[in-house]
Structure 1
Amino acid sequence: MGFGGPTHHFPLGNIREMKVDTKIINNDASSSLVISHNIHPIVFPYFAQWQKSHGKVLVYWLGKEPFLYITEPKFLKKMSSKVHGNKWGKPNMFKHDRKPMFGSRLVMVERDDWAMASLILEPATKMLERWTTLINSGKPEMDVEREISGMTGKIIARATFGLRNEKGSEVFEKLRAVQFMLFNSNRYVGVPFSHWICPKKNLEAKKLGKEID
């Protein structure tokens, strides 16, 4: 089966298009007074545009690495039935690029280890149950960022590091700092020698990663 998708451009792949589409949609959003709950084309404008042109299953490129983008449930179900769950894995390029932030912790766990680690998601389940109660009560206002930050701190404290909640919160703040460094400065994932583009940020991220470990 062949898949369509945006044309690959060496050495960036489709990163340049992703940057341009994001900049355009951000400029439009900042000048618009319309509030929409359809956030997908706002958060991922390039995926929304590619989906219109190439369908719900397509291939896009980050540097020299291809990725399969799927928004068709039937196809995903069929694909999952053909490939055993423990054969699925995460791209090595992401493992290497995001190592200062994620290390070998939960977000990078795979296969059988993931089945065991998934037990730590209890705080997330409780958070969603609380949100459901708020919505059904007719008062659905909530601080999503604060809720998610609190939940993440609990997960880190209880499972990933085995620490008290206040210690987990301290670790979480360092993880947040690493997150901003990686996701704000290093948008050339998969591009050869991309780690030389922002060497200072990468060194700071690695330093924080060692402190977290």
Structure 2
Amino acid sequence: MALVFFISLAVVITFLGLLELLYSGLVLKPERLRSALRKQGIRGPGPSLLLGNISEIRKSQSTTVKASTNEPPLFHNCAATLFPFFEQWRKQYGPVFVFSLGNTQILYVSQADVVREITTCTSLEFGKPSYQQRELGPLLGQGILTSNGKVWAHQRKILAPELYTDKVKGMMSLIAESTTVLLSSWKSRIEKEGGVAEIKIDEGGNVQEKSIHRNSWHEIYAHQEK
């Protein structure tokens, strides 16, 4: 009898321990994070227990799809079309808010100065979330989007020279040349089809790739064209 009692007690303790871990991971920890953000004036949509705001995201997307028509859009705000829930929450809670995917709390920032501060000044200490490296690591490796600390600093140091203003200005003529080729191909196609043609933007992929190649290896292209 004593053995059965101790086994039952161990099972109950284990069960209660698992419940405590689940409650801590699904409720207490997310709420502590959201509470800390609320004290800084950062709010957001209230999450459900297991899904967070996933249900609201799906509902917003389905509503947008139903409301869409075959007519050309009057504006080209792709973000509002692809992520209508962000646009809705931004209007409701401001340019900085928090939302949940499951029990993962995500801080949404759309203030340019804050984003610049994070990406250029504090990323070495700010860090990327562990789930990002775990889930995107096999695809993106330890690139600047997923890395932290010294690895991030090294990646940024490698990329920075290619994005200097003088470097980008030097690419403008090559970009304009590739764009002109693309527009000429569209114009030619429209003329061949009697003034009206259905053009898929993705069909210009080869021209876009050529533009990238020209910018990356323009000296080789220049030598080949002579």
Shorter-chain TM-score tier: 0.5 to 0.7
- Match among 49, 67, 72 for residue 34 of structure 1: 72
Letter in 1 for 2:156: A
The question of whether the paired residues in 2 share the 8 Å contact of 1:15 and 1:61 is answered with yes
- Match among 146, 149, 152 for residue 205 of structure 2: 146
- Match among 128, 140, 147 for residue 90 of structure 1: 128
- Larger RCO: Structure 1 or Structure 2 (Cα < 8 Å, ≥ 6 residues apart)? 1
Alignment of 1:12-91 (within 5 A): 12-29=51-68, 31-35=69-73, 36-76=75-115, 80=118, 84-91=122-129
**1:3 maps to 2:42:** yes
CA 1:120 to 1:16, structure 2 compared with 1: closer, same or farther past 3 Å?
farther
Aligned length: 151
Q: For residues 106 and 75 of structure 1, what CA distance do their matches in structure 2 show?
A: 18
What TM-score do the two structures reach when normalised by structure 2?
Answer: 0.51
The question of whether the paired residues in 2 share the 8 Å contact of 1:70 and 1:76 is answered with yes
The question of whether the paired residues in 2 share the 8 Å contact of 1:7 and 1:14 is answered with yes
- Describe the superposition over 1:103-147 as per-residue Cα deviations: whole angstroms up to 9, x where unpaired: 32453234312223315857x959x7344567799x597946726
CA 1:149 to 1:101, structure 2 compared with 1: closer, same or farther past 3 Å?
farther
- Match among 81, 104, 120 for residue 142 of structure 2: 104
Q: For residues 208 and 145 of structure 2, what CA distance do their matches in structure 1 show?
A: 16
Q: Which residue of 1 aligns with 2:33?
A: none
Letter in 2 for 1:54: Y
Cα offset, 1:38, TM superposition = 1.7
What secondary structure, in the 3-state scheme, does the structure 2 residue paired with 1:93 have? helix
Letter in 2 for 1:98: L
Alignment of 1:132-171 (within 5 A): 139=183, 143=201, 146=205, 150=209
The question of whether the paired residues in 2 share the 8 Å contact of 1:106 and 1:117 is answered with no
- Describe the superposition over 1:145-193 as per-residue Cα deviations: whole angstroms up to 9, x where unpaired: 7269738x96xx99xxxxxxxxxxxxxxxxxxxxxxxxxxxxxxxxxxx
Q: For residues 127 and 139 of structure 2, what CA distance do their matches in structure 1 show?
A: 18
Q: Which residue of 2 aligns with 1:171?
A: none
Cα offset, 1:54, TM superposition = 0.8
Give me the CA root mean square deviation: 4.2
CA 1:33 to 1:85, structure 2 compared with 1: closer, same or farther past 3 Å?
same
Letter in 2 for 1:115: R
CA 1:91 to 1:47, structure 2 compared with 1: closer, same or farther past 3 Å?
same
Structure 1: give runs of 5+ residues left out of the alignment.
159-213
Q: For residues 209 and 179 of structure 2, what CA distance do their matches in structure 1 show?
A: 19
Structure having the higher Rg: 2
- Describe the superposition over 1:23-78 as per-residue Cα deviations: whole angstroms up to 9, x where unpaired: 2212322x24032212221011110010111111111112112111112234546x
Q: For residues 148 and 50 of structure 1, what CA distance do their matches in structure 2 show?
A: 37
Letter in 1 for 2:139: M
What TM-score do the two structures reach when normalised by structure 1?
Answer: 0.54
